Each structure stands twice: as C-alpha cells, then as structure tokens.
C-alpha cells in the first residue's frame, strides 16, 4: 500500500477514517499496489433527498484497471430525522445490497443473462452507529443515465420499467417456493419503519392542497371520501398484512429519479433501479402504482392502462416459468387484479407527496425539510396539471 496516491481533492473531501479505510479495502480486494485515487470533481456531483453522492475513480497502471465508484453517505443534517428515520432507511439500503440482492442473484443464476434483474454492484459498506456508507458501481461510465428531472416517461420507458419490476418481484415468489424461511428472514430487513410526525403532517397538508385544486364535483366527492384518515391509509396500503401471502420485496420508491436508462439510439434498452432505502415487503402492486402515477402523464395512462397491467403480468408469468414456477400458484391473476383495486390508491397518495418536489425547481435548491416544516411546498401550474390528471384517472379507473 506504500505506493498509493491520493489526490488533494480526495483528502479534502474525505478526511474521515472510516471512509478512507473502506476505500483501501476495495483496493486491497483487487490486489492493487499502485492505486491512484481521484475525484472527477472536487464537489459532490449530485445528491438525492436521502443521501450525499460523490464520484471516485481508482486507477492502476500495473493492472490496467479503472474502478469507477459512487460513494453514498447518509445525510448529516439532524433535521432530516424529524421527517424520516435516516439511520434506519440507510441501514435498509445496506441490507438490500448486501443480503437481499445477493440472494436474488443466486436465485436467478441459471437463467439467461438477458432476462435477469440487474442492479448496480456494491463494493463495500460501512454500517456503524455514527457512520453509514455505500460504495457502489458508477453506472454512468456504462452510459446509464437519468431522464431529466420531472420529465414524464413515454411508453418505451414505461414498458421497460414494468418489465423489470415483474422480474424483480418474480424473485421473491421463486424464493418463497424454494426457501420460505429465507424469504421470511429477508422480509425482516425491510419492515416498515416509523415515519416522523412531520412526514405524517405533510401527507395531510398535500391532501388539503390537492382537494383545493379539484374542480369537478364528482372528483371532489370521491377524493374527499378517499382522503379521510389519509395518513392511516398511506401505511395501510404499504402494509404486508394487506397482501399476505402474496408479498414480495418491493423497491418502494420507484419513480423516474431512481431509474437509470441505457439507450440504443433514442430507444431505452436497459434499466438499473437505484436507491433502495424505501424497500418494503408488500404487494407487487405497490411498486407498479408508485411508478405509474408518479412518472407518467395522464394521456399515456388513458391509452395504456390495461396494456401496462398485461405487460406486467405476462412478464411475471414468463419470468417465473424460466425459473420453473407457475404464476397460477405464485400469484393468480385474479389476486393480482384484487391488489390493483386495493393497493393502487397508494399511487395517488405518493403522487401528492412526491410531485411537488419532482416538478419543482425550487425544491432542488432549497432545504427540503424547511419547505415542509414551514408549509412552503407549492404546486405550480405544471404540477397542478399532473396532479389533477392523477386524481381524474383514479376516478375514471374506479380506483377511488
């Protein structure tokens, strides 16, 4: 290790001993003796609401090797804990990468590569009480990228996401058949966490805003009925009790900013789903609803709603068959359609919670917690159009 070189930007950004140690362990695992560690930028290249992200590059001339990494750190702002349990959700993501996804890789090892559920490689984690860190594969060097924040997804993107969700969910059904005890242990890693009072008051706040924007009398009546006890309904729709015994490991936060696409020309051909901090053990319909109503336009949903359900179920059936399981035993279609009716309203609540931030430029540059705490979350015209489209679709599809 005597020949390792650290650039000044890396030392300045990461003088923390735990982070230095984790990076050194990655270097040692690859038996690199001449590592040069650099950062493409002295600043962090981006962040999400529940983590701070930095790019890191490790190169070795001797091994002719370059490792492009993402360092993801838990946010240090104490006020975030008043909104969500930061330590718990970060530990949840660590468990997903190190326990759940590794198990899923073994479950699907014998099917062709083209049909596997693929995810970012996890190189190293730090899971201490005072420090939590993930070192992940930087997928941008493989030409995976996000769509523009707030951009709604068209049918090719939507089909690719729905197909991948079916492949993800299939792995739980297969594991249930092969080793129910193992699936039960994995479900413990993603038990629903306790959300702070600030989060719960925010749900009620955005429900009140949504109601004030609705113009149609029928939609007003339907929404008023749905929004009674809206906080309790949020947790009910995510509950494993609702879907037993058909629960699966769900991503739990499937919207466009957690989706990395790779393209052939203008056509999306591969997908990686990132940010697993909200993962839960729940109905497969939870992920579909969250994605479909937070990341698409009403015009697409009205054209393709039945098709999307068919695409999901057909791919689930095919993926289960590839692993010698029968969809009629694992997740009968009539049960799936019951879940659509019971669970899809979760997508309405998630749209109310998320769309003001997904579509707001202000939320990108302002402290998220301050906006929520002081009830300064605004619904601009663009957000109002998307949100009212969601409400109208829920009434039209007879989901509320």
Tokens of 7: 């650039």
Please give the Cα distance from 158 to 143 (Å, whole number): 19
Helix (H, G, I), strand (E, B) or coil at 234: helix
Pick the residue with more confidence: 77 or 381? Answer: 381
What's the pLDDT at 19?
84
Task: Report residue 43's pLDDT band, with 50, 70 and 90 as the boundaries.
Answer: very low
Share of the chain above pLDDT 90, in %: 70
What's the pLDDT at 42?
38
Helix (H, G, I), strand (E, B) or coil at 155: helix
Q: Is the pLDDT of residue 47 over 60?
A: no
What's the pLDDT at 50?
66
Domain annotation for the chain: domains and CATH numbers: 5-73 (no CATH), 108-120+143-396 (3.90.1200)
What is the secondary structure of 376-399 as a DSSP string? -----HHHHHHHHHHHHHHHHTT-
Q: Is the pLDDT of residue 268 over 90?
A: yes
Mean pLDDT of 287-309: 97
pLDDT tens, residue by residue, 60-79: 999 999 999 999 988 766 66
Indicate the angle between helix axes 155-178 and 298-322, nearest 10 degrees.
Answer: 30
Please give the Cα distance from 245 to 80 (Å, whole number): 34
| Residue 393 burial by Cβ neighbours in a 10 Å radius (0-12, 13-18, 19+) | buried
Helix (H, G, I), strand (E, B) or coil at 70: strand
DSSP H/E element including 122: strand 122-127
Q: Is the pLDDT of residue 362 over 80?
A: no
DSSP H/E element including 183: helix 180-188
Q: Which of 72, 134, 130 is nearest to 101 (CA)?
A: 134
- Region of poorest pLDDT, from 12-16, 62-66, 126-130, 245-249: 12-16
Q: Is the pLDDT of residue 45 over 50?
A: no
Please give the Cα distance from 348 to 342 (Å, whole number): 12
Mean pLDDT of 274-284: 95
pLDDT tens, residue by residue, 320-332: 999 999 999 999 9
pLDDT tens, residue by residue, 144-190: 999 988 899 999 999 999 999 999 999 999 999 999 999 999 999 99
Q: Is-contact 63 32, C-beta < 8 A? A: yes
Mean pLDDT of 117-136: 91
Please give the Cα distance from 138 to 45 (Å, whole number): 12
pLDDT tens, residue by residue, 83-99: 667 788 899 999 999 99
């Amino acid at each position: 290790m005597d020949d390792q070189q650290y650039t000044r930007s890396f030392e300045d950004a990461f003088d923390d001993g735990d982070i230095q140690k984790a990076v050194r362990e990655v270097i040692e695992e690859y038996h690199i003796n001449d590592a040069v560690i650099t950062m493409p930028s002295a600043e962090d290249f981006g962040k999400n609401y529940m983590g701070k992200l930095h790019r890191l590059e490790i190169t070795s001339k001797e091994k002719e090797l370059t490792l492009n990494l993402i360092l993801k750190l838990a946010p240090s702002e104490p006020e975030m804990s008043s909104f969500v349990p930061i330590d718990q959700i970060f530990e949840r993501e660590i468990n997903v990468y190190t326990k759940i996804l590794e198990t899923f890789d073994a479950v699907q090892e014998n099917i062709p590569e083209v049909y596997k559920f693929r995810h970012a490689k996890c190189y190293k984690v730090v899971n201490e009480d005072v420090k939590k860190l993930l070192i992940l594969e930087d997928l941008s060097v493989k030409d995976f990228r996000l769509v523009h924040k707030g951009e709604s997804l068209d049918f090719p993107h939507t089909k690719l996401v729905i197909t991948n969700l079916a492949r993800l969910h299939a792995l739980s059904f297969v594991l249930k058949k092969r080793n129910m005890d193992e699936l039960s242990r994995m479900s413990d890693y993603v038990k629903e966490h306790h959300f702070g009072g600030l989060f719960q008051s925010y749900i009620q706040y955005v429900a009140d805003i949504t109601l004030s924007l609705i113009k149609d009398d029928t939609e007003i009546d339907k929404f008023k009925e749905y929004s009674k006890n809206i906080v309790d309904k949020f947790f009910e729709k995510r509950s494993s009790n609702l879907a037993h015994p058909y629960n699966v490991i769900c991503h739990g936060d499937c919207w466009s900013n957690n989706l990395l696409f790779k393209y052939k020309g203008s056509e999306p051909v591969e997908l990686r789903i990132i940010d697993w901090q909200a993962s839960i053990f729940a109905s497969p319909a939870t992920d579909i609803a969250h994605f479909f109503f937070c990341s698409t336009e009403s015009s697409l949903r009205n054209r393709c709603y039945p098709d999307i359900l068919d695409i999901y179920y057909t791919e689930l059936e095919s993926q289960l068959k590839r692993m010698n399981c029968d969809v009629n035993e694992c997740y009968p279609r009539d049960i799936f359609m019951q879940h659509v009716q019971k669970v899809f309203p979760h997508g309405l609540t998630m749209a109310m919670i998320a769309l003001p931030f997904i579509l707001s430029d202000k939320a990108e540059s302002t402290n998220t917690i301050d906006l929520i705490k002081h009830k300064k979350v605004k619904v601009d015209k663009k957000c109002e159009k998307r949100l009212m489209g969601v409400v109208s679709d829920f009434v039209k599809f007879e989901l509320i």
